[in-house]
Amino acid sequence: MTREELIKLGEKIVKTQGTESELDELYERFNKNIPYPDGANLFYYPENYNASKDYLSQYKPTVESIVDKCLSYKPIIL
């Protein structure tokens, strides 16, 4: 998928359009097209999120920034 297609998909995820199973499909499609592991979670939770010390109310990323972060991810190869 292109960056633009991922952004459109991310916007659908953020707007939570559809049923839970439809949303699961959107998550799966997004995650299959990016190198970042479970990157769709970044729409709602920051990287390395810790519920005891992080405040979700302050986390307001743009869809574009999440897509860019996911596309620029480089896995560590041992």
CA torsion sign for 55, 56, 62, 63 is positive
17 pLDDT more than 80: no
Mean pLDDT of the chain: 92
Contact 45, 39 (CB under 8 A): no
Mean pLDDT calculated for residue range 7-16? 93
pLDDT at 53: 83
d(CA 7, CA 67): 6
pTM for the whole thing? 0.87
pLDDT at 31: 98
pLDDT at 46: 92
Mean pLDDT calculated for residue range 50-78? 90
pLDDT at 16: 81
